[in-house]
A and B are shown apart, each in its own frame.
Chain A
Amino acid sequence: MLKYTLSRLLTFIPTFIGVTLISFSFIRALPGDPIVVMAGERGLSDERYAELATQYGFDQPIYMQFWDYLTGVLQGDLGTSFVTKRPVWDEFFTLFPATLELSICAMIFAIALGLPAGIIAAVNRGKFLDRALMSTALVGYSMPIFWWALLLIIVFSGNLGWTPVSGRIDLLYYFPNATGFMLIDSVASGQSGAFTSAVRHLLLPTIVLGTIPLAVIARQTRSAMLEVLGEDYIRTARAKGMSPGRINGVHALRNAMIPVITVIGLSVGTLLAGAILTETIFSWPGIGKWMVDSIFRRDYPVVQGGLLLIAVMVMIVNLTVDMLYGVINPKIRKR
Chain B
Amino acid sequence: MDDALSAEAEMVHARPGRLREFWFYFRENRGAVIGLVIFVIFAILAVFGPWIAPHSATQQYRADTLVPPFWLEGGSYKYILGTDPLGRDMLSRLIVGARFSFFVGIVVVTVAASGGILIGLIAGFAPRWLDAIIMRIMDIILAFPSLLLALVLVAILGPSLVNAMIAIAIVLQPHYVRLTRASVLSERQKDYVTSARVAGAGLMRLMFVTVLPNCLAPIIVQAALSFSTAILDAAALGFLGMGAQPPTPEWGTMLAEAREFILRAWWVVTFPGLAILVTVLAINLMGDGLRDALDPKLKRS
Instruction: Identify the A interface with B (CB < 8 A).
Output: 11, 14-15, 18-19, 22, 26, 29-31, 135, 138-139, 141-144, 146-148, 150-151, 153-154, 158, 269-270, 272-273, 276-277, 280, 291-292, 295-296, 303, 307, 310-312, 314-315, 318
Contact = CB atoms under 8 A, between A and B. Distances in A.
Nearest to A29: B156
B273 A272 contact: no
A18 B135 CA distance: 12
A19 B140 contact: yes
A310 B145 contact: yes
Nearest to B251: A144
Interface in B97-128: none
Given A142-B228, A147-B255, A291-B148, 15 more contacts: A14-B136, A139-B281, A142-B281, A147-B269, A147-B272, A147-B274, A147-B276, A273-B146, A273-B148, A276-B151, A277-B236, A277-B239, A280-B240, A295-B155, A314-B143
B269 A150 contact: yes
Interface string B213-254: 000000000000000100010011001110000000000100
B263 interface: yes
B143 A15 contact: yes
Interface in B246-301: 252, 255, 259, 262-263, 266, 269-270, 272-274, 276-277, 280-281, 284-285, 288
B145 A314 contact: yes
B70 interface: no
Report, nearest first, the 7 A-B pairs whose CB atoms are least far apart. Answer: A147-B273, A18-B140, A273-B145, A273-B147, A142-B280, A142-B281, A311-B143
B28 interface: no
A296 B140 CA distance: 24
Contacts of B142: 269
B144 A310 contact: yes
Nearest to B255: A147
30 contacts: A15-B136, A15-B139, A18-B137, A19-B143, A30-B156, A31-B158, A135-B31, A138-B284, A139-B277, A139-B281, A144-B236, A146-B235, A146-B239, A146-B273, A147-B274, A148-B273, A150-B255, A150-B259, A151-B273, A269-B146, A272-B145, A273-B147, A276-B147, A280-B240, A295-B155, A307-B148, A307-B152, A310-B144, A311-B143, A314-B144
**Overall SS of chain B's interface:** helix
B139 to A, nearest CB: 5
Contacts of B228: 142
A29 to B, nearest CB: 5
Nearest to B151: A295
Contacts of B273: 144, 146-148, 150-151
Nearest to B281: A142
A196 B158 CA distance: 43
Interface residues of B, number: 43
B240 A142 contact: no
A26 B151 CA distance: 12
Given A15-B139, A151-B270, A154-B269, A141 B255 contact: no
A26 B156 contact: yes
Contacts of B153: 26
Which residue, B140, B241, B285, has most C-beta atoms of chain A within 10 A?
A: B140
Given A144-B277, A146-B239, A270 B145 contact: yes
A11 B232 CA distance: 32
B234 to A, nearest CB: 11
Contacts of B284: 138, 141-142
Contacts of A14: 136
A211 to B, nearest CB: 12
Contact of A142 (B262, B272, B277): B277
A292 B151 contact: yes
Given A15-B136, A153-B262, A277-B239, A311 B144 contact: yes
Contacts of B285: 138
B143 A315 contact: yes
Contact of B262 (A19, A22, A158, A318): A158
A11 B277 contact: no
Contacts of A150: 255, 259, 262, 269, 273
Nearest to B256: A146
A142 B232 CA distance: 8
A270 B147 CA distance: 9
Nearest to A288: B148
Given A144-B235, A151-B270, A292 B240 contact: yes
Contacts of B145: 269-270, 272-273, 276, 310, 314
A11 B270 contact: no
Contacts of A153: 262
Nearest to B171: A273
A208 to B, nearest CB: 13
